[in-house]
Amino acid sequence: MSLRLKDSVRKKLYMIIVIAILAFIGLFSIKSIVTMIKQKTNIEYKLEHHGYSTKEIKILKRNYNKKELTKLLDKEADKNIPLLIEEKYYIAKNLDKYLDYLKANPNTPVSKVISYINTRANEKWYTDPKEADLSKGKLLLVNKFNKLNEDYTPELVNVSNWYAYGENKLTQEAYEAFIQMFNGAKDSGTKIVATSCYRSYENQKRIYDKDVYKYGEEIADESVAKPGFSEHQTGLAIDLLEPGYNLNNFHESTAYSWLLDNAHKYGFILRYPSDKEDITGYSYESWHFRYVGVEVATKIHNENITYDEYYAYYLNK
């Protein structure tokens, strides 16, 4: 009797052990399935299987939220995307334009691509121009894609002949800043003089038409703005020289060197630098300075960017 009881107990124990083992295996399998499902729905898993490396995924996660990352999966995996979004002046809404440009110009550095697209420098000059945003005040942008109306005239004051050759005008704020800069240069033993400040639409038209007649439209467009597209019409631009120098050699003058180091302290920037012609659309003009205020001028100077780039990234993105 006791042997039968022991056999039955033994069988029950065996059954309990078997059931426990099966339950454990089942639980483990369920957890594995759940883990697998979670992995497959995990954004990192998806990005990895989409074609991005661990390093690239880290960059993407650092710059994009989950919604943006999910949307990114709708695009073909592109190794240029992590490179682009790490660039300082990257603008998210321009991503497709960056990628399209890189496909057509694969050897272009991504930093250049971003500058071209942000400023529209990849487009043909004067294509689909917009009205300049006058609400920006002294920070309005006038270039080959942003124009002023024919009748636009800012509030202007006369520039004293003590500071300029001939009759010139500037906005009050720009004029006061120029006087301070003039005195700063003088205190350092350097003299600067204004040669051309405000120009009306009509005056700019005469200058442009004259150059087109002499050199042809293509060459004229490299150095002279079309009427309505000139910064001089804003009353914020000023052409400077040092006595004894001209437009061709001003870059060799002491005044020019001083301005490169100090103009931003008074709110002025060199508007058309020699190494940014592909961005500004104009040949190098060592004499052309633009008033934007001390804070903005200092930022542009420190970051070594053009006003076109500054406006696109900091004011218009």
Burial of 207 (0-12, 13-18, 19+ CB in 10 A): middle
| SS3 call for 163 | coil
Which structure tokens are listed for 183? 């005195």
Catalytic residue flag (residue 123)? no
Q: Would you call 271 helix, strand, or coil by DSSP?
A: strand
288, 270 contact by CB (below 8 A): yes
Q: Among 285, 295, 303, 309, which one carries the catalytic annotation?
A: 285
Residue type for position 262:
N
Q: Quick check: helix, strand or coil at residue 158?
A: strand
| Both tokens assigned to 294 | 């001390």
Q: Helix, strand or coil for residue 309? A: helix
Q: Are 86 and 59 in contact (CB under 8 A)?
A: yes
Mind giving me the DSSP string for 240-257? EE-TT--TTTGGGSHHHH
Do residues 142 and 129 lie in contact, with contact meaning Cβ atoms separated by under 8 Å?
no
Is 173 in contact with 156 (CB distance < 8 Å)?
Answer: no
Which residues belong to the active site? 285
